[in-house]
A and B are shown apart, each in its own frame.
Chain A
């Protein structure tokens, strides 16, 4: 059963096979898309026709590879800048929220904290449509009364950022709060007794302590934004993010270039995960 208890061989091997099958199930789709990114065929299917890098580099009309597809490159660029801005905003406000809820006492704190947690349990689709409805409402009002048509209030680049930020901040808050719970409050008190102002104490003592959590939270917010579709799909304007672009290609015009992009995403995530794994293991030993 557990490490220290004896078990039969049959039990042990059945269990190991089950775990093996589970992990096979887990990696199967990732392997499938990756392999087909290199298949010399115009269809996203086997049989294997030989190895090719066409779906990355070819620039002919029949085969437009990833690096020749300007629309695709543009959506990747849009996604990266969106994710950077969303991660920055979420990290800033999420960290502030963590400090507020962990260190301050005030009226309605419970209610406010509850509200800050709700994005965890509100489906992304609902966040998307409610932000769409209210921004349109505000946009129409501004246009009617001031005669200005602001892009922010219509489905656009910036509305996507606001939508993704609305839940990104919650995840940052939770990650930073978890670290703040381990914080020795006397450090900050020591700074205060040495005549630091409260803000100086936070900036020079608390924030450096939180740095690993803040960096981790930034990465999480970046990835949440980069892969989001449920909220984004309602707020996107004329410049699609990568998931939106891929989604419409899957629905209407799939070529193996989809596999090439997917392969790159899988590759980058895997490398990043392994680097993170070995760095954190080195720290432990």
Chain B
């Protein structure tokens, strides 16, 4: 009897803080976000229900075009991140010795912990018209006037890739680590080409890691603000910048809430699709 009672006390001690966290900081704020996205101020200064915030999104080309562009670029960057980093993950887990790999993984994680702002700033210093890359190219006589790299889609994509691609490497490495080398050896002994081994064994085996990585990369890129804002310049508007403007420049919070909700729908929709197509659960992405 007493034992059962203390069980309950422990249970409540555990569940109350968790409920407070999730209800007050996750559930209620998102309900408020949804509710305020359906409100506008009428002529009397009262808040009334309306679909105007969403209608504004579809009426103004700049809004939905930015939205579509952000989604398309985020998918593109995710694919690029996979193509660039898969050979690296493979190299670190299967090609070199464990000891050397541990050192390289350490190097890999440093930019991650340094934080996005510092690294984005680093790319700004590198890519600018008077930046380091242009300086070297001009000193070496390869070009006579600076290449225009900063404030373009190119510099924005570099920034987005740089800050997100490591989140692809880590989960892919952890699935590759569990891939038994003898599978590859067996295939090779039976005369399979490298390409066949790659597409028929390695890729299918590491699919769970690839999906986890892709989801995290996509989410980070679509919700990123710094790289588009600092490296992207005027022509490369990002949807998070529209939200930022609504909240901190024009102070139209209700329209901003609608935009935020649309972005949330887009990111969860694509993540849901990726999980469905690959038959994975969200729980696995976290681990």
Q: Point out residues on A near B: beta carbons under 8 Å.
A: 1-5, 15, 18-19, 22-23, 25-30, 32-33, 36, 43-47, 92-93, 96-97, 99-100, 104, 106, 112-127, 129-135, 137, 162-163, 165-166, 169-170, 174, 178, 192, 197-199, 202, 223, 226-227, 229-230, 233-234, 243, 246-247, 250-251, 258-259, 262, 265-266, 269-270, 272-274, 277, 281
Contacts and interface: CB of A to CB of B under 8 A. Distances in A.
Interface stretch (B18-26, B49-57, B58-66, B203-211): B18-26
Interface residues of B, number: 96
B32 interface: yes
Contacts of B240: 123, 125, 230
A123 B21 contact: no
B130 to A, nearest CB: 4
Nearest to B282: A117
A125 B225 contact: yes
A174 B287 contact: yes
Q: Which of B21, B136, B243, B253 has the most chain A CB atoms closer than 10 A to its own CB?
A: B21
A26 B125 contact: no
Nearest to A199: B10
B126 interface: yes
A123 B267 contact: yes
Given A26-B108, A96-B18, A129-B260, 13 more contacts: A1-B197, A27-B111, A29-B122, A29-B125, A32-B125, A45-B130, A97-B21, A117-B283, A120-B286, A130-B260, A132-B247, A170-B286, A227-B118
Interface in B133-168: 135-136, 162
B1 interface: no
Given A119-B26, A126-B260, A273-B106, A202 B18 contact: no
Contacts of B116: 227, 229
21 contacts: A2-B94, A5-B184, A5-B188, A25-B162, A33-B122, A36-B132, A93-B21, A100-B15, A100-B18, A106-B11, A112-B19, A115-B26, A115-B27, A116-B22, A119-B26, A121-B219, A129-B243, A227-B118, A229-B117, A246-B118, A273-B110
Interface string B63-97: 00000000000000000000011011001001111
A129 B121 contact: no
Contact of A199 (B13, B128, B136): B13
A123 B119 contact: no
Given A120-B285, A274-B106, A2 B181 contact: yes
A198 B6 contact: yes
A118 B283 CA distance: 10
Contact of B223 (A123, A162, A174): A123
Contact of B257 (A131, A133, A162): A133
Nearest to B218: A121
B108 to A, nearest CB: 7
Contacts of A29: 111, 119, 121-123, 125-126, 162
Contacts of A32: 122, 125-126, 132
A147 B263 CA distance: 36
A125 B185 contact: no
Contact of B17 (A22, A33, A46, A96): A96
Interface centre among B22, B247, B268 (most CB of A within 10 A): B22
A158 to B, nearest CB: 13
Contact of A43 (B18, B21, B118, B130): B130
Given A29-B122, A97-B18, A117-B286, A133 B224 contact: no
A3 B93 CA distance: 10
Given A121-B219, A130-B32, A198-B6, A223 B126 contact: no
B22 A33 contact: no
B33 A114 contact: no
Contacts of A47: 135
Given A45-B128, A277-B106, A126 B33 contact: yes
B109 interface: yes
B102 interface: yes
A92 B117 contact: no
Instruction: Determine which residue in A104, A230, A281 has the highest number of CB atoms from chain B within 10 A of its CB, and name it.
Output: A230
Contacts of B3: 192
A144 to B, nearest CB: 14
Contacts of B27: 115
Given A29-B125, A100-B15, A117-B282, A265 B226 contact: no
